[in-house]
Structure 1
Amino acid sequence: MNTLPTVSVLGLGNLGRAVAERLLDAGPGRAERLRERGAAVAAEPVAAVAASELVVTVLLDHPAVREVLGGATAELEGRTVLNLSSGTPEQAGELASWVTAQGAAFLAGAVLAVPQTLGTPEAFTQISGDTGAFERYRAAVDVLGTVRYAGAGPELASAYDVAVLAGMYGMFSGFFQSLALAEASGITAVGVTELLVPWLTEAAAVLPLFAREADAREYATETSNVNINRAGLASILDSGRARGVPGDLLAPLLARLDRQAEEGHGEESLSRVVETFRAGAGEPVRV
């Protein structure tokens, strides 16, 4: 049976506190509550780093992690840092280089969950970095919920994180547009959301197909093509203009679909719009 190593958690915000609680199998509370449940509370980061073989950082961003760990460089040697703070893949790579230069192993983690679900199968954590360190501390990482190891590249967890969150924020943008259009027509937000949630659930089922088309760069379709979606999106924007609802969130997508049609791809799959986002796709679409 795997036993948990000694772990120090730096950062007791909402997520950091939840991480510490899951490690302790404790209830809610900040440092004093965690102390009551068996945690030792360090007065300074240097003491926290020195106390444990696994150091989990759950701070605002990568610069904050570098600042906090910068005062404990002598204590880092021989330890493993698991960084769960948000940032870009480039920042993760830079932090990994700095941590390993101090003689420590580095793991990057992206937690795709709200703190309240941490430790359940619904909480998903992507980990990348030092393979040996991941295997050594897998038991500690597993208490966070469902865990996937993305690979040895320290930037991989962040790359997955920003890509997944981009999709989430795109959904939120459409949702807010939906609420505004509904209200302008006398429909409540609750009323339209009752229809929207099951519709989005059904619509999400096509995403794996779109992903396969994007990977293969093959966009033949007999269903949801560019032209069909251009017409639908144009109607949404026209409806918004008639009701005084701004269309600035969705207009850029229509502009990209228009460009695809102008280039002769109107009968191809909606997924072909990804070509306008690929590196080297040309000038940004202007609306």
Structure 2
Amino acid sequence: MALNGSETQSRPAATPLTLLGLGAMGTALARAWMAAGHPLTVWNRSTARAAALASDGARAADSAAAAVAVNSLVVVCLLDDASVGEVLDDVDLAGKDVVNLTTSTPALARARAAWARERGARYLDGGIMAVPPMIGVPGAGGYAFYSGSPELFEQHRATLTVPAGTTYVGEDDGFAALYDVALLSAMYGMFAGAAHAFALIRSEDIDPAALAPLLADWLNAMSPAVHQTAEQLNSGDYTTGVVSNLGMQAGGVPTFLDTAEQQGVSTELLSPYFALMRRRLAEGSPEEDLTGVVDLLVRPRSAAAA
């Protein structure tokens, strides 16, 4: 059967790239790009990890400088921002497209972007919302935030989407790190609540495996409340659409504290939030939602930096 013109055209060559850092996440990224046919140059302080990838087809460089020199696209996935500086301070970045997937803070990301541009590089900052087993697995739900140059993001979107989905969050270089930490902060808050729930039953004849599906279903049922919180923050009206108001919920706090005491469980995970609820009740209205707690947490930038 004859093929039409579009079928006979060869696919564009996969973009070659350099990857610096081969920890658990870096190695997962490397294998995803390799599996998709991207020519990959790698470097890692521990040469054994680079050698393992080299045996599967990657090019292992002897130094970070040598690895950067090979390709225009350079992806960095190191321990922290200080490591990025240690590895790249003396490396020629002129003409390179640097994508930094190292976990960082918004302020450090902005400073690192300025640092890269002073050295003649284009820069994207990223925050990976996935664990290594999710990388390169279609449908696993992993993705990465990206911020910085929209043109640079669009140019490399196809390559960056290979290991995980991509979500561009704006030109501000610090936004990817900010979104990353915001979501992870919510995750740890959820883990804290789950830890308290399991602690409450720990001394009883209750199988944690019996509580787990109930807990997961309950957390899933409550999660849409974040949309109402966002709407209330945007409108400034914290009383619209309230189902369980602040007054009622603050009134129930003693039950949670007394139950914990009776079960021999510390309240150190819950007490700070309950204290904020009571403070907001004293300053606001009992008819509000819990949204006002957000405003209590926000400090002026000058105070936060002091």
C-alpha offsets along residues 155-210 of structure 1, whole Å, 9 cap, x if unaligned? Answer: 11001111111101100111111111111333232222121000111111222112
TM-score, with normalisation over the residues of structure 2?
Answer: 0.86
1:2–1:139 CA contact under 8 A, matched in 2? no
Q: CA offset at residue 98 of structure 1?
A: 0.7
- Structure-2 residue corresponding to 1:118: 135
User: Is residue 2:117 matched to residue 1:100?
Assistant: yes
C-alpha offsets along residues 250-286 of structure 1, whole Å, 9 cap, x if unaligned? Answer: 10111111111112421211222212112349x99xx
- Structure-2 residue corresponding to 1:204: 223
C-alpha offsets along residues 60-93 of structure 1, whole Å, 9 cap, x if unaligned? Answer: 1111011101131x2x100011110111000001
Distance 1:84 1:42 in 2: 20
Distance 1:2 1:177 in 2: 53
Counting matched residue pairs gives: 279
SS in 2 for 1:151: coil
- Using the aligned pairs only, state the percent identity: 34
Alignment map for 1:219-234 (pairs within 5 Å): 219-220=238-239, 221-234=241-254
Matched to 2:33, the amino acid is L
Matched to 2:277, the amino acid is L
Distance 1:215 1:209 in 2: 10
Matched to 1:14, the amino acid is A
Distance 1:185 1:211 in 2: 38
C-alpha offsets along residues 129-161 of structure 1, whole Å, 9 cap, x if unaligned? Answer: 122221221121110222111111111100111
1:234–1:254 CA contact under 8 A, matched in 2? no
Distance 1:275 1:184 in 2: 37
Distance 1:239 1:150 in 2: 43
Distance 2:160 2:175 in 1: 17
User: Is residue 2:15 matched to residue 1:9?
Assistant: no
Deviating more after overlay: 114-123 vs 247-256: 114-123
Q: CA offset at residue 2 of structure 1?
A: 5.1
Distance 2:12 2:185 in 1: 36
TM-score, with normalisation over the residues of structure 1?
Answer: 0.91
- Structure-2 residue corresponding to 1:41: 60
User: Is residue 2:71 matched to residue 1:52?
Assistant: yes
- Structure-2 residue corresponding to 1:90: 107
Alignment map for 1:205-284 (pairs within 5 Å): 205-220=224-239, 221-280=241-300
1:4–1:139 CA contact under 8 A, matched in 2? no
RMSD over equivalenced CA pairs, Å: 2.0
Matched to 1:272, the amino acid is G
